[in-house]
Amino acid sequence: MKVLVIGSGAREHALCRSLSLDPAVTALYCAPGNAGIADVAELRTVDALDGRAVATLATELGAELVVVGPEAPLVAGVADAVRAAGVPCFGPSEEAAQLEGSKAFAKEVMAAAGVPTARSYVCTTPEEVEEALDAFGAPYVVKDDGLAAGKGVVVTGDIEAAKAHADSCERVVIEEFLDGPEVSLFAITDGETVVPLQPAQDFKRALDGDEGPNTGGMGAYSPLPWADPKLVDEVVETVLQPTVDEMRRRGAPFAGLLYAGLAITSRGVRVIEFNARFGDPETQVVLARLKTPLGGVLLAAAQGTLADIEPLRWSDDAAVTVVVASHNYPGTPRTGDPIEGLDEAGKTPHAYVLHAGTKRDGDAIVSAGGRVLSVTATGAGLAVARERAYAAVSRIRLDGSQHRTDIAAKAAATEA
Ligand code: AMP
Ligand code: GLY
């Protein structure tokens, strides 16, 4: 099977790495890709937001499956354009991707499906904002309604900061603060059958101890030794399946990856957000543990035959990924700095380096984005995986770079 992956981040590198290990995948392309993905897939150039261009590329390559990684092309209808050209595509339609593209739409679907989530108001005027903030009290949760690359959410005790963020958005969702640990649970679905993956935890804040601003994610681990073993079944039953059923009922079936961002509160599981694609950096650790070849699973989702596949097989190993980010991320990052030590890092046992924002500049590989690398390792338990990931990180040299030093630290301490 010839596969084309669309995107250029560490998530796409993880997807391409897994697909390259699938014996059924005979040719693998990625567009636009990055300097690291070039090691496992043939790169092509394309404007990932241009559905016609992606469909043309897929046809030219003879692709038998297109996998759309990021949210922006999905929300722009790229999966629809690929399917219209007769090529199976893993990724929801433009309409179904609104589950991520509009937080207000997601809230409406959850209400209709009876899915537990934070109580919320959708506001468009300063008066509505003021009323909603008053109604819930501190800490305030203010969310840009549209896509914001993981940076549209402000959680703060400071009412002026909450109002300022609301003012900067056209339409905001203001909601109740959810207390409790967060879990990311992904499911692959063909619009009907829901196949959950293993849960992971992401670290959204920039600095150790969950301090600093929200980012796209600074690290992740899986499994979650502290979580209830029944969590996955419960979330399928109360969140994922009802949402998929409700989307189908609306005539906008959701086929692709449904990402539930959850808070485990004292009153039970609540949805923080849905995403319409694999999460980054959680994908790096989830795929590190998946033993079933990935290509067949994604193709079954694209073709509506997920009910027929064998149950997924998982490694008992734990996986940890640590994101190495540029100077000043999540603000405007500094780019163009050379990255050294990638070969040494990649030789760390059971560790590998996934590239996010990198590009080739002559013989050098240089930083080209906010999140630059996602250093991933596996091992018998989180403590071992963590040690290996950080051993690999310590071999990388990137001027001004930053990473968190506490990824999976607490969870590793709770391991038996
Ligand atoms: P989102 O983009 O919706 O995932 O939000 C980014 C981050 O903001 C989440 O991972 C949470 O850490 C935090 N957050 C979002 N909504 C809430 C909420 N209702 N209560 C507490 N924290 C939240
Ligand atoms: N890990 C957060 C996201 O992918 O949105």
- What is the DSSP annotation of 148-162? -TT-SEEEES-HHHH
Predicted pLDDT of residue 169: 86
272 CA distance to ligand 1 centroid (A)? Answer: 6
> Is residue 73 in a domain?
yes
Task: Record the tokens describing residue 82, joined without a space.
Answer: 């690929």
Q: Give the count of domains, the chain.
A: 4
Is the C-beta atom of 178 inside 6 A of ligand 1? yes
> Is residue 116 in a domain?
no
Predicted pLDDT of residue 264: 97
Predicted pLDDT of residue 249: 98
Q: Are residues 190 and 289 in the same domain?
A: yes
325 CA distance to ligand 2 centroid (A)? Answer: 15
Predicted pLDDT of residue 170: 84
Chain position carrying tokens 């979580």: 227
Q: Cα dihedral sign for 387, 392, 393, 395?
A: positive
> Is residue 313 in a domain?
no
Q: Are residues 187 and 298 in the same domain?
A: yes
Task: Record the tokens describing residue 32, joined without a space.
Answer: 């636009």
Residue where one domain finishes, among candidates 90, 111, 135 = 90
Predicted pLDDT of residue 38: 97
Ligand closest to the CA atom of residue 201: 2
CB 248 within 8 A of CB 191: yes
Is the C-beta atom of 144 inside 6 A of ligand 2? no
CB 215 within 8 A of CB 82: no
> Is residue 102 in a domain?
no
Q: Are residues 145 and 254 in the same domain?
A: no
> Is residue 231 in a domain?
yes
Residue where one domain finishes, among candidates 147, 175, 203 = 175
> Is residue 24 in a domain?
yes
Q: 302: number of CA atoms within 13 Å, CB side? A: 23
> Is residue 115 in a domain?
no
Q: Are residues 333 and 403 in the same domain?
A: yes
What distance in Å separates the CA atoms of residue 353 and residue 394, rounded to the nearest whole number?
12
Predicted pLDDT of residue 152: 82
Q: Are residues 287 and 214 in the same domain?
A: yes
How confident is the prediction along the chain (416 residues), in pLDDT tens digits per residue?
999 999 999 999 999 999 999 999 999 999 999 999 999 999 999 999 999 999 999 999 999 999 999 999 999 999 999 999 999 999 999 999 999 999 889 999 999 999 999 999 999 999 999 999 999 999 999 998 877 665 688 999 999 999 999 998 888 999 999 999 999 999 999 999 999 999 999 999 999 999 998 899 999 999 999 999 999 999 999 999 999 999 999 999 999 999 999 999 999 999 999 999 999 999 999 999 999 999 999 999 999 999 999 999 999 999 999 999 999 999 999 999 999 999 999 999 999 999 999 999 999 999 999 999 999 999 999 999 999 999 999 999 999 999 999 999 999 999 86
Q: Are residues 198 and 270 in the same domain?
A: yes
Q: Tell me: cis bond preceding 330? Omega within 30 of 0 counts.
A: yes
> Is residue 242 in a domain?
yes
217 CA distance to ligand 2 centroid (A)? Answer: 6
Task: Record the tokens describing residue 98, joined without a space.
Answer: 């609104």
Q: Are residues 76 and 49 in the same domain?
A: yes
CATH number, domain containing residue 371? 3.90.600.10
- Angle of the 10-20 helix axis to the 282-289 helix axis, nearest 10: 10
- What is the DSSP annotation of 207-245? EGGGEEEE-S-SEEEE--TTS-TTHHHHHIIIIIHHHHH
Residue 337's domain comprises 318-415
Q: Are residues 78 and 198 in the same domain?
A: no
Q: Ligand 2 atom 3: the closest Cα is on which residue?
A: 279
CB 53 within 8 A of CB 26: no
Q: Are residues 283 and 328 in the same domain?
A: no
pTM equals: 0.95
Q: Are residues 192 and 165 in the same domain?
A: no
CATH number, domain containing residue 287? 3.30.470.20
Predicted pLDDT of residue 151: 62
- In Å, the largest CA–CA distance within the chain is 58
- Write phi, then psi, for 30 (nearest 5 degrees): -135, 135
